[in-house]
């Protein structure tokens, strides 16, 4: 559920042919997204920091609820943590279990669940992740109660939902299917999201916003008529190139930060359960 262009053409091999162009395009998109994430404090492998205020280490037991493609679950497994990932999508879970085979020495297992309830014991986890999921669920209050239940004393939580500024623009540009189950069924205002997390007894330790790049990318996505399995077309590639040009210059970091505050893709909460 819950992703450098310009100047990268000279990096690595310039692959020939249409197939080579497709591979190169996918690699370039991955690089700009990686740089954008790292500059915002996400997925820092050397320190185990998944995001600001949320660090995973080998002593952790991590549950990733609504894992989707499993990026956060696999990050946690690479830090040596024991990881359980859940998702309602059977195919996503099968893919993740196949990816985990032989890679994580039994540290990562993925199970199908609609979180009603989670097939996990009370107080099981030291870290709980739920990224870009709550906007999909019919009963967020029940859902976050399940998240609170599975965390042990002192457990830390990373929970994200789309930010309302970008989502309200999506209302004007996205097709109706975007706003129908199992896709987005609600927009969380910032105070509403924070109050929801507090309502289950979690103390918020960090509030963040990320990422302007993805907000604009998804707004342009509908006009571009882009197939997510293919490299970016001219419109999205031009946006990625522009963003790379901006964030690759250290003197423009304040501009990046201001844009991330103005229209982030996600509002981010790191919270803690009482010890």
Assign 156 to helix, strand or coil.
Answer: strand
**Diameter of the chain by CA atoms?**
58
pLDDT of res. 16: 31
Residue 130 DSSP code = E
Q: Answer for the pair 132, 2: CB distance below 8 angstroms, yes or no.
A: yes
Q: What are phi and psi of 5, to 5 degrees?
A: -90, -130
Block residue for tokens 């008529």: 225
Q: Answer for the pair 30, 5: CB distance below 8 angstroms, yes or no.
A: no
Q: pTM of the entire structure?
A: 0.88
- Degrees to nearest 5, angle at CA 226 with 259 and 42: 40
The angle that helices 212-224 and 253-262 make with each other, rounded to 10 degrees, is 70
Strands 151-162 and 266-272: antiparallel
Contacts 24+ apart (CB under 8 A), 135-142: 135/161, 135/162, 135/167, 135/184, 135/185, 135/186, 135/187, 135/188, 136/1, 136/66, 136/181, 136/182, 136/183, 136/184, 136/185, 137/185, 138/181, 138/185, 140/186, 140/196, 141/196, 141/199, 142/116
Query: CA 101, 104, 105, 111 torsion: positive or negative?
Result: negative
Strands 49-51 and 54-55: antiparallel
Residue 177 DSSP code = G
Class (C level, CATH) for 17-272: alpha beta
Strand partners, 64: 85, 129
pLDDT of res. 228: 78
Q: Answer for the pair 119, 98: CB distance below 8 angstroms, yes or no.
A: no
Assign 61 to helix, strand or coil.
Answer: strand
Domain ranges of the chain: 17-272
Residues in the chain with pLDDT < 50?
Answer: 1-23
């Amino acid at each position: 559920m819950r992703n450098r262009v310009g100047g990268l053409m000279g990096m690595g091999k310039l692959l020939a042919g249409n197939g080579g162009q497709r591979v190169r395009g996918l690699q370039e998109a991955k690089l700009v997204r990686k740089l954008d994430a790292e500059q915002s404090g996400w997925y820092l492998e050397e320190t185990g920091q998944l995001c600001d205020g949320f660090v995973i280490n080998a002593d952790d037991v991590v549950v990733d609820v609504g894992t989707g493609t499993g990026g956060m679950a696999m990050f946690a497994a690479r830090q040596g943590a024991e990881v359980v990932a859940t998702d309602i999508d059977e195919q996503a879970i099968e893919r993740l279990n196949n990816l985990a085979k032989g890679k994580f020495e039994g540290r990562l297992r993925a199970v199908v669940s609609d979180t009603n309830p989670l097939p996990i014991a009370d107080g099981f986890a030291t870290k709980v992740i739920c990224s870009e999921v709550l906007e999909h669920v019919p009963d967020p209050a029940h859902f976050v109660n399940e998240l609170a239940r599975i965390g042990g004393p002192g457990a830390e939580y990373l929970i994200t939902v789309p930010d309302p500024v970008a989502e309200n623009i999506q209302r004007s540009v996205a097709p109706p299917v975007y706003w129908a189950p199992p896709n987005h069924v609600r927009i969380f205002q910032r105070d509403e999201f924070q109050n929801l997390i507090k309502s289950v007894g979690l103390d918020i330790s960090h509030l963040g916003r990320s990422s302007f790049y993805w907000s604009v990318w998804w707004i342009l996505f509908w006009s571009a008529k882009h197939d997510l399995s293919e490299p970016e077309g001219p419109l999205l590639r031009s946006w990625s190139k522009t963003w790379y040009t901006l964030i690759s210059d250290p003197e423009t970091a304040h501009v990046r930060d201001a844009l991330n505050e103005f229209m982030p893709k996600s509002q981010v909460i790191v919270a803690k359960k009482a010890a």
